[in-house]
């Protein structure tokens, strides 16, 4: 999972989603009633138009209720259409109908402002990177934060022990070439592969270590890529093994190195962590990374697009 929006923003988005649902359902169930309240019940096109708008509201609602603030833009576009239509209608209404339509137009105008605010904030928050899921140890403004989870059919102690020996991590972390732990595990030196046969390196330290439960680490000193992460081990219910949850965050520096970080983690950094966890599960449960002739590296996002034919190679 890659997070891009703050909880507050998601909440506003959901509220707007609920508003859209309410409006949409009302318009679809009783377009005549809505036409009356809005003062346009004298027009033959009002009922079909309101029905179409109602259906549109439900589309907005679907996106917003899924917690996607970016969908507020679809509402902004809808608001603009509605306001134009209502403005036109206002021009040929008089008396009580005029007053009712004016009230409805003002209400739509206010909602439009909320929509615009939410949409703008959603765009900004995308530029600035995630605001949630960033561990407290991550002090950066721009960052890539990802999390992933898997269930391993082994007891927490065994799963923890394998991860805690940090030198094991390269067996399943595709981009990490080597980890050295000179002082037995608190400090470590990481070497990772970067595009163009480059490598990036950093030192890290374990900042929290709760046996069989949790490990939290962060890069130290002058790291090529500042990062921090945690892995949590919880016994799955009913003897189903161990739930393993990983959270990682990488500072995204400006300039060239920032590009390296971006390409290192590809379009979907969450995918890479999920692949790493698939391999982790395989290594713990079966003792090996599972390979096929079509996917010789094992689970590996990029290979999915460029499968080799399923026959042996010399």
Partner 1 sequence: MLANQWMGKEDLEVNEVPDPRILNDRDAIVRITSTAICGSDLHLYDGYIPTMRKGDILGHEFMGEVVEVGKGVGNLRAGDRVVVPFTISCGACLSCSRELFSLCENSNPNHRIAEKVMGHSPAGLFGYSHMMGGYPGGQAQYARVPFADVGPIKIEDGLPDEQVLFLSDIFPTGYMGAEMCDIQPGDVVAVWGAGPVGQFAIASAKMLGAERVIAIDRFGYRLDKARQAGATDVLDYEEVTVLEALQELTAGRGPDACIDAVGMEAHSAIGPLHAYDRAKQATRLETERPHALREAIMACRNGGTVSIIGVYGGLMDKFPIGSLMNRSLTVRTGQTHMQRYMRPLLDRIRNGDIDPSFVVSHTMPLTEAPEGFRMFRDKQDECNKIVLKP
Which residues of the chain form contacts with partner 1 (CB under 8 A)? 151, 153, 240-241, 271, 274-275, 278, 281-282, 285-301, 304, 307-314
Shortest distance, CB of residue 290 to partner 1, whole angstroms?
Answer: 5
Nearer to partner 1, 42 or 268 (CB): 268
Nearer to partner 1, 123 or 292 (CB): 292
Shortest distance, CB of residue 3 to partner 1, whole angstroms?
Answer: 20
Shortest distance, CB of residue 158 to partner 1, whole angstroms?
Answer: 12
- Three-state secondary structure string covering 175-210: CEEEEECCCCCCEEEEEEEECCCEEEEEEEEEEEEE
Q: Which residue, 172, 160, 145, is CA-closest to 261?
A: 145
CA distances from 9 to 103, 135, 209, 273 (A): 28, 19, 33, 26
Shortest distance, CB of residue 149 to partner 1, whole angstroms?
Answer: 14
Q: Which residue, 169, 130, 174, is CA-closest to 2?
A: 130
Shortest distance, CB of residue 174 to partner 1, whole angstroms?
Answer: 12
**What is the spatial distance between Cα 59 and Cα 36, in angstroms, rounded to a whole number?**
24
Shortest distance, CB of residue 230 to partner 1, whole angstroms?
Answer: 24
Nearer to partner 1, 224 or 275 (CB): 275
Nearer to partner 1, 247 or 274 (CB): 274
Q: State whether residue 143 is helix, strand or coil.
A: strand
Nearer to partner 1, 86 or 174 (CB): 174
**What is the spatial distance between Cα 156 and Cα 239, in angstroms, rounded to a whole number?**
11
Tokens of 73: 């833009």
Pairing of strands 227-235, 242-251: antiparallel
Nearer to partner 1, 150 or 219 (CB): 150
Phi, psi of 30, deg, nearest 5: -140, 65
Nearer to partner 1, 94 or 311 (CB): 311
Using CB atoms within 10 A of its CB, is residue 281 exposed (0-12), middle (13-18) or buried (19+)? buried
- With vertex at residue 21, the alpha carbon angle to CA 19 and CA 27, rounded to the nearest 5 degrees, is 100
Shortest distance, CB of residue 287 to partner 1, whole angstroms?
Answer: 7
**What is the spatial distance between Cα 276 and Cα 171, in angstroms, rounded to a whole number?**
9
């Amino acid at each position: 999972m890659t997070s891009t929006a703050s909880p507050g923003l998601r909440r506003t988005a959901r509220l707007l989603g609920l508003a859209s649902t309410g409006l949409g359902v009302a318009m679809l169930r009783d377009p005549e009633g809505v036409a009356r309240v809005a003062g346009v019940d004298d027009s033959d096109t009002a009922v079909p138009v309101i029905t179409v708008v109602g259906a549109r509201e439900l589309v907005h609602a679907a996106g917003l209720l899924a917690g996607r603030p970016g969908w507020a833009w679809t509402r902004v576009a809808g608001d603009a259409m509605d306001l134009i239509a209502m403005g036109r209608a206002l021009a040929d209404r008089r008396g009580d109908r005029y007053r009712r339509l004016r009230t409805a137009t003002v209400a739509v105008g206010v909602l439009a402002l909320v929509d615009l605010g939410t949409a703008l904030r959603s765009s900004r928050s995308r530029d600035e990177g995630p605001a949630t899921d960033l561990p407290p140890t991550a002090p950066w403004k721009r960052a890539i934060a990802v999390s992933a989870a898997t269930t391993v059919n082994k007891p927490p102690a065994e799963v923890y022990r394998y991860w805690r020996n940090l030198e094991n991590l390269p067996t399943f972390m595709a981009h990490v070439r080597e980890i050295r732990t000179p002082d037995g595990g608190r400090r470590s030196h990481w070497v990772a592969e970067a595009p163009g046969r480059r490598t990036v390196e950093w030192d890290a330290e374990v900042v929290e270590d709760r046996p069989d439960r949790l490990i939290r680490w962060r890069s130290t000193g002058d790291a090529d890529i500042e990062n921090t992460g945690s892995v949590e081990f919880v016994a799955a219910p009913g003897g189903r093994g161990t739930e393993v949850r990983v959270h990682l965050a990488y500072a995204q520096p400006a300039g060239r190195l920032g590009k390296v970080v971006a390409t290192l983690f590809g379009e979907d950094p969450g995918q890479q962590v999920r692949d790493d966890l698939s391999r982790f599960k395989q290594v713990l449960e079966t003792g090996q990374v599972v390979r096929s002739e079509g996917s010789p590296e094992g689970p590996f996002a990029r290979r999915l697009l460029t499968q080799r034919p399923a026959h042996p190679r010399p």
